[in-house]
Chain A
């Protein structure tokens, strides 16, 4: 993609081990691709005690400007591997943004957020830091993940009970027998090519230039968007602050501009300077990165092909607008890790793995529908969308009823409607559907300050809302389900899980990836255990 203007100065190179053990001949899980999704998956598997080998073609962490906005849900997932601590320490949290038409503010939006919450709705950070933190997490468990840089997959040959993968490394060519392969090797996936698979869907013509610059600023951390700004008439410009005084700037180029010319510094830097001057950012600055982007809605038909899985950009490409790329990739890793670990350790039948495609492809299609909407506003595909956008922007300054159309539709967790793992709802109603099966289990602060979601991400948890010890606790524990009593003192949790004030008792079964699998009125752990046994997640 990419002329690099200057290497990000503070980028941490991948650590080089002094002692590299021999390349393994056999491995339970081979992860192709050591980007943020592959490394997070490796760390999650390590936490479950499942050995994995990560083969990354590059020599270290990514360079340049890639994913930068990490959702609350992704922060939770990174929390499962302990990467949330450095992430939050380094990243810049934010809760909303502003959009301008020419020089007039036409939208000020905020995402749901409240004091005391565990994570901000969104956090900005360079992708190479995420890779670094996930990598470190993958090395802290035993058996630690075996991560090989400069390891380029040459061929992938599916077999009946595994996959033979040939990897080229600086020490030569190695053949590895993997029981399972997970392709996390991005939009130009080698594994996908090797299996003769193609992404299908739509590409948009509208092109955006991506520019990172270093410039100190005191400006609040927000998503900033300008439509037709005086600094660059006719263009659309997005700005995000990143750590270490880096601005990420995205701007749309005209349909008649040559993409090759458009990324040349002599064409980029004056536009950036013009805009910085317009918004009063006058400190000296230097360019770090320039590349080009166009929106895509592409996906594989299925994310499991025998013993090969696809995750992240290797499985689906979603538009940049609404920040669903890496965020959906991390959810892929979170979904697959516990299922694969249960099957590999003999605690669940292999059929559990089929639910990965059902759930994550549904999520990809939802993400594409939202992403397409965002793209149609940010890069109008024809005169009709252009005309309607202009009408919206002209009205929005005075007419609040149309402002929601400008909202960037930022990523939110996708409910797994229709998942085969969802347990039937009881006839008696709930006060709300926030914790319906297939939804992400709502967070709430518990007495003492700990957050509910901090209990998720390892194994099954059964939330027992009630006044007394639930029945059948031993039945739960024997299945590896951790009961967690939620007393009526946790009024916020009771409310969010759809329980009337001080009246009901209930059991809510939460999957290792923080999704609700089922909920039952009363406090009968035996009923939960029976449903668990029938569901195909255990044996």
Chain B
């Protein structure tokens, strides 16, 4: 995916989140994430990404 395509997909996801609202945002993100995971060839492609995201969620406080 090019930088430009990533940028476009990012905006589409932001718009989708806006549409469903904050309460359903975790559900939307989980569904998109699951769709992406299921399209990868092997689990070892996704497990490090989950580990990194988990660590980065924990080691930096959330901005309100």
Mark A residues whose CB is within 8 Å of B: 101-102, 228, 233-234, 373, 376, 382-388, 390, 392, 394-395, 397-399, 401-402, 404-405, 407
Contact = CB atoms under 8 A, between A and B. Distances in A.
Nearest to B49: A399
B11 interface: yes
A407 B4 CA distance: 11
Contacts of B56: 394-395, 397-398
B6 A387 contact: no
B55 to A, nearest CB: 9
A399 B49 CA distance: 10
Interface in B1-53: 3, 6-7, 10-11, 13-18, 22, 25, 52-53
Question: In terms of DSSP, what is the predominant structure of the interface of chain A?
Answer: helix
B64 to A, nearest CB: 7
Given A399-B52, A404-B3, A405-B6, A376 B18 contact: no
Contact of A404 (B6, B16, B22, B52): B6
A384 B17 contact: yes
Given A390-B62, A390-B63, A404-B3, 8 more contacts: A234-B63, A376-B14, A384-B17, A388-B17, A392-B10, A395-B53, A398-B56, A404-B6
Given A395-B52, A395-B53, A384 B14 contact: yes
A390 B13 CA distance: 14
Nearest to A402: B6
Interface residues of B, number: 21
A402 B6 CA distance: 8
Contacts of B11: 373, 376
B27 to A, nearest CB: 13
Question: In terms of DSSP, what is the predominant structure of the interface of chain B?
Answer: helix
A233 B62 CA distance: 11
A387 to B, nearest CB: 7
A404 B7 contact: yes
A394 B60 contact: yes
Contact of B25 (A101, A387, A398, A407): A387
8 contacts: A234-B63, A383-B17, A383-B22, A383-B25, A386-B63, A388-B14, A404-B6, A405-B10
A382 B11 CA distance: 13
Nearest to B18: A384
Nearest to B29: A387
A150 to B, nearest CB: 46
Given A394-B56, A398-B52, A404-B6, A385 B14 contact: yes
Contacts of A390: 62-63
Contacts of A102: 60
B28 to A, nearest CB: 9
B53 A387 contact: no
Given A228-B63, A384-B18, A388-B17, A394 B7 contact: no
A257 to B, nearest CB: 14
Contact of A373 (B7, B15, B18, B64): B7
Contacts of A373: 7, 11
B13 A388 contact: yes
A382 B25 CA distance: 12
B60 A387 contact: no
A394 B13 CA distance: 17
Contacts of B18: 382, 384-385
B32 to A, nearest CB: 12
A291 to B, nearest CB: 26
